[in-house]
Every structure is written in C-alpha cells, then in structure tokens.
Amino acid sequence: MASVKPGLRLQLLLLLGGLLLLGLLPLYFAVSTYTRVTLQEVRYASARSLGRAVAGHVSEARERRTQAELMELLHSEIGASGLEAIGVYDPQGKAIARVGEPVAVDQLPESVVPGSERVFPARTNYGPGIAVVVPDAHGAVAAVLRTDDDAARVAPLLRLFALYTAVIAFALLLLSYFVLTRWIVRPLDSLGRAASRVVQGARKLELPRSGARELTQLGISLRQMTEHLIAEEEALRRKVDEVEQATRELKATQANLVRSERLASVGRLAAGLAHEIGNPIAALIGLEDLLIEGGLDEAEQRDFLLRMRKETERIHNILRDLLQFARPAQGESAEGGDVETAVYDTVTLVTPQKALQDIALEVDTFPDLPAVRMSREQLVQVLLNLVMNAADACGAGGRVVVRAEPSSQGVRLTVEDDGPGVSPKVLEQLFEPFVTTKEVGKGTGLGLSVCRGLVEAAGGHIDLDPDYEGGARFIVELPIVAHD
C-alpha cells in the first residue's frame, strides 16, 4: 500500500510550528529561569532586610526586657512574614535561645562567628528556606525564613507567559496558513489543475492571476514549455503522417519490386530450363533425324538409341530436380531422422564414385546425436549434394570433411573442402535455381536450391560460412524432434 504524503500546507505548517517551537521554547525556559533567579535574589535581599530588622528588634528587646519577656517576644515573632525560627547568640557566638518550628530550629547553628553576617540555605516545614545571621551589639541574631511561596508567585506569571506565547504562536501559524495558502499553495493548485487539463487535451495553459512573483514566472515558463511541446507534437504528427505516407509508398514500391523479382526469377528459371533441356532435346532431334533417314547398320542404330536414352534420362533428372525444388515442404519428417546413419549412408554412396577416388573424405560425428526434423532419405540427399559439390570443387588430391555435432539450435552439419572457394560473383545468388559454377552439361544448378528448400521446410537453416578460408564450408542447422 502506497504511503500518503502530507500536502504542502501541512508541511509548511509543521515547518513553521517546528521553527516557533525552537524559537519560543528556549525563550520560555530563559524567562522562567530568569524570573526564578530574580525572585530568589529578591527573596534573599528581603530575608537579609527582615533578618536585620528582627535582629534590631531583638537587640532592643535584650536591653529592655527580661529573659522571659524576650522569649515571649521571640515566640510572638514566629510565623510573621515567613519567619520560621529565631536564634539569639552571645558575644562569643554561643546560642542563648532558639525558638520556632522544630525543623527550622534544627537549621540554626549551635554557634556563629561573632561580627560576621552570613546567609545560607535552610529547610522548613513548608519546603526550602534561607537562614540569615546578623551581628549586633550583644552578639548575633539568626532567623530562618521560608521561601516556598516563590514558586507560588512564579507559577501564575509563567502560566500567563506560556498562554501569551501559545496565543502568539497560534496567531502566527494561522496568519502563515492564510498567507501561504493565498500566495503559494492556491497558485500551485491552479497550476496543477491547468497542467492536468493540458494532459487531458487542452491546447492552452491557463495561468493563475495571483501569487508570488516567482510562481508567476514559473507559470509563464510552464506556458511557454506547453506551447513549445504542443508545437513539437504538431510537428511530430506531421512527421508521422509523412512517414506513414512514405511507408505506404515504400510498400507499394516493394510490392512492385517483388513482382519484378518474381518475374526475373521466372525468367531465369525459364532460361535455365530452356538451356538445360534444350541441349538434350537438340541432340535427340539430331539422332532421330539420322534414324529417320535410314542407312544405318544395327550397331549404329543401337548406339544412337543408347545416346537418345541417355539424353532422355538427362531431361528426366532435370525435371525431377525441378519438381523437388518446387515441393520442398514434403521433406519434413514427423518421426525424425538419424543424422549419424545418414552421414554414413552418404559416405557409402559416394565412396564408389569415380570423382571421389583421389579425394580424402573425412567424417567426424558426435555420438548419440538426437533425431532431427528431416527424414533419413532427405538428410542423405542434402549431404550427397554438398559432398559431391565439394568433391567437384577441390578436384583430385583434395580433402572433404563432413562433421555432425550438437548446437544451440539442435544439430549442426558441416561440409568443408580445400578447393578454390565460392566466387564472389555468385555468392549472393548461390542458392537460387540454375545458378552454378560448373561447366555446361556438368550441373543443373538446382542442387543447392533443393537443399535449401528441404532444410528450411524442416525449420532449419543452410548457409555458406563467410569466415572460412582455404576453401568452402557449408553449415546446416537442423532442429531436433521434440518428444512429448
């Protein structure tokens, strides 16, 4: 679940509240501390004055009153103006009398230093207090006064100051809220809504009429950017229309080129077919004319008939290869073919051939290759074409290597030779029908075309390795049969 971020108003208020807290809280503590210290100093000063007054009063009473009257006077002074205990000391500093609340009396010293005034903290029944020792003509007088009423006097003042501070802070926050809303937040909201309308399809950015100078400048910049983007969008739309028009024209041109190429292919096919079939037909017509004229003995007639049969078989083979080229998809095998068996069947077929008597034929097959999506017969046909072409290319003393190995696409077959390689003139048309580098009468130019049709019908790929040097290498990639 996505977290909801606080709005700008809340963030600004929190920031201002934090700043006010950082500014006013130390001020509150400073004022309260200063007030307590000031009141304490005032209380100490009052205590000294009160102690001196009590000492003077007691000193006068010591001259005029008896000991019993003095004690009565001391008891009557207890409780007045926060006085908790009174001690009277002789000229040697020894305590003569100590009266008052027991806790406060315990704070009076047993003896004092004659002739020196002293103020020190003390405890009373009501909390903290101070003790004042004031010397007089007859010794010294000590008084313990409570100061717990300081807190009572300070607390209302501090509460009033805290209330005043809170009211001022709240007023500042409220004023800041309205000012920020009017000058910053509301113009930003207006800009956001205007931008949303542009996103939904509006063609113009409506700017807010109020706001700070920076926000007004921001709105102007956004409007300029919007106008620029709209102009770019229009230009891009025109470019897209132009590209679509160019694409349509290109498709039309491509269709014309395809038709032209198809017609050119048909023309090359017809020319190649006429050339390949024309020669044996011409020979057949010549031989038939000789037979029709007569005058030939039986041996000559038999020789002419054998030649005619040979030319007829040549025409039959050409037409058979042409039909095979036209129907390559029938070569795919659902059950699959054994590559290793096909390789060795091919070797068995080509070994007795006279063209391979002086050629070193090497076979390198990976063991346990999976079945491929071609029948064994079609595999033999492809390998036979490639091996015979390699043998014709390298000639006597050459070397032909047949390899079968696994690959990322299934099984890879390679047939390489150490012949002169493929001429760059026919490289681009190597797999087209009736394209051959052999002499007239030694090839139909349909072998590689048939091989490509068979391989591609099985979902594979056949090509000439462009990086191979020292001859030619044909690579056949065949997919394997998928088992359920």
Same domain, 225 and 314: yes
Q: Which range has the top average pLDDT, 252-256, 354-358, 416-420?
A: 416-420
User: What band does 72 get if pLDDT is binned at 50, 70 and 90?
Assistant: confident
360 within some domain: yes
Q: What pLDDT is attached to residue 1? A: 46
pLDDT at position 161 over 60: yes
* Whether 72 and 92 share a structural domain: yes
Q: What is the CATH number of the domain that holds 242?
A: 1.10.287.130
Higher pLDDT, 176 or 400: 400
Tokens of 432: 């087209």
pLDDT (tens digit per residue) in 322-364: 565 455 444 455 567 899 999 988 888 777 777 677 889 999 9
**One domain, residues 338 and 383:** yes
**Residue 162: pLDDT above 60?**
yes
The overall pTM is greater than 0.85? no
Binning pLDDT at 50, 70 and 90, where does residue 5 land? low
Domain assignment of residue 248, yes or no? yes
127/145 Cα distance (integer angstroms): 10
CATH code, 53: 3.30.450
Last residue of a domain, one of 270, 303, 326: 326
Same domain, yes or no: 29 and 114: yes
Q: According to the model, what pLDDT value does residue 358 have? A: 84
Q: Taking residues 445-474, what's their average pLDDT?
A: 86
pLDDT top residue among 7 and 453: 453
Task: Please check the confidence at residue 283 and state whether its pLDDT lies above 50.
Answer: yes
Question: Are 390 and 419 in contact, with CB atoms under 8 Å apart?
Answer: yes
pLDDT for the residue 144: 85
Tell me, yes or no, whether 204 lies in a domain. Answer: no
Report the number of distinct structural domains present in the chain.
3
pLDDT given for residue 476 in this prediction: 95
Q: What is the pLDDT of residue 329?
A: 45
Indicate whether 382 pLDDT > 80: yes
Give residue 417's domain range.
Answer: 329-478
252 and 305 fall within a common domain? yes
- Whether pLDDT at 60 is above 80: no
Task: Report the pLDDT value the prediction gives residue 475, as an integer from 0 to 100.
Answer: 94
Whether residues 279 and 340 share a domain: the answer is no
Q: Please check whether residue 175 lies inside any domain of the structure.
A: no
pLDDT interval class at 267 (50, 70, 90):
low
